[in-house]
Structure 1
Amino acid sequence: MTQSRPFWRAIEAIHDVVYFAPGAKEKYEAVGLKGYWMGYVASRSAALGTPSPRTVTALFHGFAPAVIERALPDAWSMASRDDVLTTRYDLAREALAPALEGSDTATLVRALTLLLEGLDFAGKPLAAAHADLPAPDDEVGRLSHAATVVREYRGDCHVAVLTAAGLDGCAANALAAAAGLVPPEQRTCRGWSSDKWESAIGRLGARGWVDVTGTITDTGRAARAQIEDTTDRVCAAGFDREATARAITAEGALVEVARRVEQIGALPYPNPTGVPRP
């Protein structure tokens, strides 16, 4: 049995507030980082320590190397890793606390925390790195921590499926853009040059996934749907029976929180992750 799409979309929303909540750029700049993308790259990769641009480019997959190279390794000399991680959790607390009002947060945190114990982290390096971070003492912080591990777990699986399908970071983004899953500015957001983007569209066209205008074809839509279905199956293979049951049990509450996250303005749709509303 695979986890449902609403479950994964809710996890994505709860995790994403550390990037999209109002004031994220300013908070990362307050600890010494420079600009939005340096905050994003450093905060997401700090679980690994102070990794190199090449390592982070490989793990993030969808970003042009130049985007990562503009952030790293400079970020590690401009702000301490601990300060970056602390800021990340502070952002999560500020954004999630209003969305959790009236929820049984303790029960939800317990369900997700126990879910983590039933995951197989083999082949999921970014998820494993976040799982190794000490969980915060407060419930909202622990919820953010657990949601991040689960989100990066699916992300690692998704990268494996994309690369197995022969899609590099640029082609994967171009296909998502053709499918209407991401904002029109996705190319520049992810740092791809117009030449790289056109080349990626050409490769998609050679597979029959887009037409001569770059519009997605029925074959391309089917291929994109197959990628998501395969990602679901790969994720499910790493969930033991108890983890699967806990995901099913927690889904309703997670979806409610995720919807409140959007309502309070902590996460816009569409956004560059390409994940629809739960």
Structure 2
Amino acid sequence: MSMPLPIPTREDIARDLWRLFEPIHAVVYFAPEPLEEFRTAGYRGFWMGYFAGRAAPLGRVGADVVHALFYNFAYARVSRAVPAAWGFAPPAQALEARVRGSVRALRRALGPAADCADTARAAELAMRAAQSAPLEGRVLFAAHHSLPVPQEPLAQLWHAATLLREHRGDGHVAALVAAGIAGREAHVLHAIASGVPRDVYSSARDFDETEWTAMRDALEEKGLLEGDRLSRRGQRLKADIEERTDRLAATAYDALTAEETDELIRLLRPLASAVVREGDIPLDNAMGLNLRGSVDGA
């Protein structure tokens, strides 16, 4: 006699939805179309386009604000991009470039499904969740929330995915802060917990050996490491951060009924799979390894 499957919790559902929304959102960072749009707008290099696109809803902010909100980047990296980016193109152009490029990328990945009724329905449900999610304490999400909602279903789906991603991310940063884990420490904590190679962070997050060792030593002093593994205390803390992140993210879906949430998951699965199959998104991002959702990435 088979055992009944466990009933998913609100936290389980929030994590499942994040994993499905993340590939849809992440085309803005990795697909060629958004990168082309940022270059056309005038931004120089990948990182200037990245910081300009994500920070644009905040207006002409400088490095201190972006570094604080994005949480896990080296300050030197941030300060090379902003506020200099606004001298090449204002925030309004960054906003236009990222939506235009992301929609082009999604349209390529989804093919005929980009204009089907199921995609429009997914956009409708996702946007209802995104617009109803609580704003308090979530500055980056609130900035994105203040933007006009696109009318085209595919653009609306990308916008909703972005809102829900930043809503979850703001909650994750709050969980890290409450746990006493600084942004750069979070990378090391996750790498040790999950086995992500250190080299990934050297290239993507500007870690040199000296800083990595310093962050590792700081975690060890807090009792979170034992040799090359998390201590029991470290495992509990990591699990608590993830659980808090899921719990805070789940509040975005309170506006949907259980049936609507199930429908949204069903509609998103083939869309997210199609984006991943296209191959634009690195495997770690496609699987949801990302600070703004759960761990320590874009």
Specify if TM > 0.5: yes
TM-superposed deviation, 1:217 = 4.3
Q: Which runs of 5+ in 2 are unaligned?
A: 1-9
Which of 181, 199, 203 in structure 1 is aligned with 2:218? 203
User: 1:51-70 residue pairs with structure 2 within 5 A?
Assistant: 51-70=61-80
Q: Which residue of structure 1 lines up, in the alignment, with residue 242 of structure 2? A: 228
Alignment pair present for 1:159 and 2:173 = yes
TM-superposed deviation, 1:167 = 0.7
TM-superposed deviation, 1:73 = 0.6
Is the alpha carbon distance of 1:243 and 1:191 closer, same or farther for their aligned partners in structure 2, counting shifts above 3 Å?
A: farther
Opposite residue 89 of structure 2, the aligned amino acid is A
Which of 141, 147, 151 in structure 2 is aligned with 1:133? 147
Q: CA RMSD of the aligned region, Å?
A: 2.2
Secondary structure (helix, strand or coil) at the match of 1:136 reads coil
- The farther-off stretch of 164-173 and 215-224 is 215-224
Q: Which has the higher helix share?
A: 2
Alignment pair present for 1:145 and 2:155 = no
Is the alpha carbon distance of 1:80 and 1:149 closer, same or farther for their aligned partners in structure 2, counting shifts above 3 Å?
A: same
Opposite residue 144 of structure 1, the aligned amino acid is W
Q: Check the 8 A contact 1:14/1:261 in 2, yes or no.
A: yes
Opposite residue 267 of structure 1, the aligned amino acid is I
Q: Provide the rounded CA distance (Å) in 2 between the counterparts of 1:34 and 1:259.
A: 31
Opposite residue 242 of structure 1, the aligned amino acid is A
Q: Which residue of structure 2 lines up, in the alignment, with residue 273 of structure 1? A: 290
- The farther-off stretch of 70-79 and 266-275 is 266-275
TM-superposed deviation, 1:218 = 5.1
TM-superposed deviation, 1:240 = 6.3
Is the alpha carbon distance of 1:82 and 1:241 closer, same or farther for their aligned partners in structure 2, counting shifts above 3 Å?
A: closer
Which of 11, 18, 34 in structure 2 is aligned with 1:8? 18
Secondary structure (helix, strand or coil) at the match of 1:186 reads helix
TM-score (norm 2): 0.84
Q: Provide the rounded CA distance (Å) in 2 between the counterparts of 1:95 and 1:25.
A: 10
Q: Which runs of 5+ in 1 are unaligned?
A: none
- The farther-off stretch of 94-103 and 140-149 is 94-103
Q: Deviation per CA, 1:71-122, whole angstroms, max 9, x where unpaired? A: 0010000112222111101221122124443351111111112112321110
- The farther-off stretch of 153-162 and 88-97 is 88-97
Q: Provide the rounded CA distance (Å) in 1 between the counterparts of 2:224 and 2:145.
A: 36
Number of aligned positions between the proteins: 274
Is the alpha carbon distance of 1:11 and 1:210 closer, same or farther for their aligned partners in structure 2, counting shifts above 3 Å?
A: same
Is the alpha carbon distance of 1:89 and 1:182 closer, same or farther for their aligned partners in structure 2, counting shifts above 3 Å?
A: farther
Secondary structure (helix, strand or coil) at the match of 2:194 reads coil
Secondary structure (helix, strand or coil) at the match of 1:270 reads helix
